[in-house]
Amino acid sequence: MPAAPHGAPLKIVVAVPPGGPMDVIARQLAARVTDQTGEVVLVHNRPGAMGLIGTRHVVDSAGDGSTLLLGGSFLVTNALTIKFAPNPIKDLKPVIQLQETEQYLAIRSGLRVSVPGDLERLARECPEGLNCGAVPGQLGMACQHLKALLGGRVVSIPYSGMAPALNALVAGQIDLLFTNRTTLIPMTDMGKIQVLAALGSHSGKPPFDSLPLMKDIWPSFVMSGWSGIFAPASTADTVVNRLNRRFNEALADPQLRGVLETQGYKVVGGHPEALADQLSKDMALCQGILNDIGMRPH
């Protein structure tokens, strides 16, 4: 496919409402590309249906490099759990991984739990099970994973996004929430919630560097968050490589890196193949979880 017409704006589609972490990343990135190149870069929010609306818009767009998607783990979970969802490996082409972020299990204030192993005891003591806030994507699937590990004594409470789920945790309406670093710092600083464990292979940066790991009790419980830029599958490799160079230059900017790192993100960058590898690993991980819990596409 030919490149986008000269002077045409570049559009980054974000499949969540304005104001969330992914939207902030997109706007920071767009501003940096514009500063460096003079090119107009627009952020276009197309939320709804767990990211399907925005994803489908990009999948159906021309592969000329003018319309891109800021995607994350919701691409994987949608593809594996919803029959009509786009397949990110077949229907999209990786451009660049932007970041990865640490993920954690947080609990409401007053829950009688001090280490992850206490969840087994508490789940047995609760007749109706523990309530887990489930947001779209991998973190929502973590509730189902924990349910399988605790013998079914976890109830997933669906939320449209992280903000309402976190509000419910602070209010004591749910017991557990799997979330990421950027949403936790303000609430833990105020003593509103407790961070119980890290989901990764290590505890991460302060103030969470001494937390226990979920994998030390349940080895299959290893998750990390990420986001990346994708193009329609019909996009030519020459166009993808041009976009990759442009975004790598933006990520190399000290100001942008500083903003993202302050928010708790690890800046990644690199070649399109690195994002393809991340996508494949996430597909395998989530498929394994789905097999364990017996969930099939609906």
Whether 48 and 88 share a structural domain: yes
> What does the pLDDT average to over 96-108?
94
pLDDT exceeds cutoff 70 at 287 = yes
Whether 30 and 95 share a structural domain: yes
User: What mean pLDDT, rounded, does the chain reach?
Assistant: 90
97 pLDDT band, cuts 50/70/90, is: very high
Whether 72 and 29 share a structural domain: yes
Please say which residue of 181, 198, 216 terminates a domain: 216
CATH number at residue 140: 3.40.190.10
Query: Measuring CA to CA, how many Å separate 298 from each of 114, 125, 152, 179?
Result: 37, 32, 20, 25
Cα separation, 217 vs 89, in Å, equals: 32
Q: What is the pLDDT of residue 128?
A: 86
pLDDT exceeds cutoff 60 at 183 = yes
pLDDT exceeds cutoff 90 at 209 = no
Task: Report the b/e string of 105-137 with b at 16+ CB within 10 A.
Answer: bbbbeebebeebeebeebbeeeeebbbbbbbbb
Cα separation, 23 vs 3, in Å, equals: 25
**298 within some domain:** no
**3 within some domain:** no
Whether 96 and 239 share a structural domain: yes
> What does the pLDDT average to over 63-79?
94
Give this prediction's pTM.
0.84
Whether 182 and 113 share a structural domain: yes
Count of structural domains, the chain: 2
Q: What is the pLDDT of residue 162?
A: 81
Query: Measuring CA to CA, how many Å separate 87 from each of 53, 83, 124, 127, 145?
Result: 14, 10, 38, 39, 22
1 pLDDT band, cuts 50/70/90, is: very low
Cα separation, 247 vs 96, in Å, equals: 7
> What does the pLDDT average to over 141-169?
89
pLDDT exceeds cutoff 50 at 31 = yes
> What does the pLDDT average to over 45-60?
92
Whether 63 and 138 share a structural domain: no
Cα separation, 74 vs 160, in Å, equals: 12
201 pLDDT band, cuts 50/70/90, is: confident
pLDDT exceeds cutoff 70 at 4 = no
**1 within some domain:** no
Whether 195 and 232 share a structural domain: no
Whether 130 and 199 share a structural domain: yes
Q: What is the pLDDT of residue 239?
A: 97
The parent domain of residue 153 ranges over 103-216
> What does the pLDDT average to over 70-98?
94
The pLDDT tens digits for 222-266 are 888 899 999 999 999 999 999 999 999 999 999 999 999 888 789
Q: How many CB atoms lie within 10 A of CB 40?
A: 13
Cα separation, 38 vs 263, in Å, equals: 26
276 pLDDT band, cuts 50/70/90, is: very high
pLDDT exceeds cutoff 70 at 161 = yes
* DSSP labels, 132-192: EEE-TTHHHHHHHHHHHHTTT-EEEEE-SSHHHHHHHHHTTS-SEEEEEHHHHHHHHHTTS
Please say which residue of 216, 249, 278 terminates a domain: 216
Q: What is the pLDDT of residue 2?
A: 41
Please say which residue of 216, 234, 262 terminates a domain: 216
Whether 212 and 232 share a structural domain: no
Name the token pair of 4: 């986008």
* DSSP labels, 17-35: -TTSHHHHHHHHHHHHHHH
Whether 242 and 275 share a structural domain: yes
Q: Is 60 left (phi over 0), alpha (psi -120 to 50) or beta?
A: alpha
Q: What is the pLDDT of residue 263?
A: 80
Whether 93 and 22 share a structural domain: yes
Rounded percentage of the chain residues whose pLDDT exceeds 70? 97
**58 within some domain:** yes
Whether 202 and 238 share a structural domain: no
CATH number at residue 244: 3.40.190.150
**50 within some domain:** yes
**4 within some domain:** no
Q: What is the pLDDT of residue 286?
A: 86
**156 within some domain:** yes
**5 within some domain:** no
